[in-house]
């Protein structure tokens, strides 16, 4: 069987990716759409654009607005929210795990748990112990998954994934692709899903 597929490009340190992460899987299921998980590192993309960090940090007024907007958006979607004491947070270990297991049926739940730690509990998500804690909490073979994701193969794949984001024209997160059509920002998720449901872009459904 096949279904329309939407690519979801996200960074665990991205606040607006949090909003999309917490709802994309359920909304995609309603639309009959399959999510292709595309974790990448936004930092190198910003650097390629000439920014040393997030524009929310570089531009004080934009950053202050974004935090107020996140409060509003989390209320809108009924999501817990705690402004991170460090922003943007690095998240290399869980990003490698998400990339190495992007086709697994549990990857959505894993990604949501990472996001919740960052944006609802203000936890450090860049520590290996945190990723292992999440995997164990999901009753998964944590050590095996961890060791595989930390191999040189997946380190190289993450670098390639981030380079692919730049090549595709990604300049922020979340970004969604339906075929070659790009949608940027959490406020475009519904538009992207609607476009995907109408499109012929398909992916083979992974077996559970």
Render pLDDT for 81-132 as a digit per residue (tens, 0 to 9): 999 999 999 999 999 999 999 999 999 999 999 999 999 999 999 999 999 9
Cα–Cα distance, 111 to 97 (Å, whole number): 9
Residue of higher predicted confidence among 111 and 3: 111
Domain count, the chain: 1
- What pLDDT, on a 0 to 100 scale, did the predictor assign at position 200? 61
- Start-to-end CA span in the chain (Å): 13
pLDDT over threshold 90, residue 70: yes
Cα–Cα distance, 112 to 152 (Å, whole number): 26
Cα–Cα distance, 40 to 97 (Å, whole number): 11
- What pLDDT, on a 0 to 100 scale, did the predictor assign at position 2? 75
pLDDT over threshold 90, residue 59: no
pLDDT over threshold 90, residue 19: yes
Per cent of the chain over pLDDT 90 is 86
- What letters, b where the CB count within 10 A reaches 16 and e where it falls short, cover 36-69? bbbbbbbbebbeeeeeeebebeeeeeeeeebeee
Residues 186/19, Cβ–Cβ less than 8 Å: yes
Residues 46/13, Cβ–Cβ less than 8 Å: no
Q: How many residues does the chain have?
A: 208
Cα–Cα distance, 97 to 116 (Å, whole number): 16
- What pLDDT, on a 0 to 100 scale, did the predictor assign at position 125? 98
Residues 158/99, Cβ–Cβ less than 8 Å: yes
Global pTM value? 0.92
Task: Note down the domain range covering 177.
Answer: 2-204
> For residue 55, what is the domain's CATH number?
3.40.30.10
Residues 82/122, Cβ–Cβ less than 8 Å: yes
């Amino acid at each position: 069987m096949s279904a329309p597929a939407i690519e979801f490009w996200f960074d665990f340190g991205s606040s607006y990716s949090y909003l999309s992460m917490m709802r994309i899987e359920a909304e995609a299921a309603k639309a009959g759409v399959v999510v292709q998980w595309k974790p990448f590192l936004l930092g190198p993309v910003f650097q390629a654009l000439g920014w040393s960090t997030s524009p929310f940090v570089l531009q004080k007024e934009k950053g202050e607005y974004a935090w107020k907007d996140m409060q509003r958006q989390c209320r809108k979607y009924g999501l817990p929210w705690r402004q991170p004491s460090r922003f943007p947070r690095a998240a290399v270990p869980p990003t490698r795990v998400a990339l190495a297991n992007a086709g697994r049926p549990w990857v959505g739940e894993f990604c949501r748990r990472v996001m919740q730690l960052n944006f609802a509990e203000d936890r450090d998500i860049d520590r290996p112990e945190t990723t292992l804690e999440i995997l164990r909490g999901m009753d998964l073979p944590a050590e095996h998954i961890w060791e595989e994701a930390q191999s040189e193969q997946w380190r190289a794949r993450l670098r390639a994934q981030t380079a692919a984001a730049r090549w595709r024209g990604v300049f922020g997160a979340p970004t969604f692709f339906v075929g070659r059509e790009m949608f940027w920002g959490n406020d475009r998720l519904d538009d992207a899903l609607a476009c995907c449901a109408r499109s012929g872009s398909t992916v083979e459904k992974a077996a559970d």
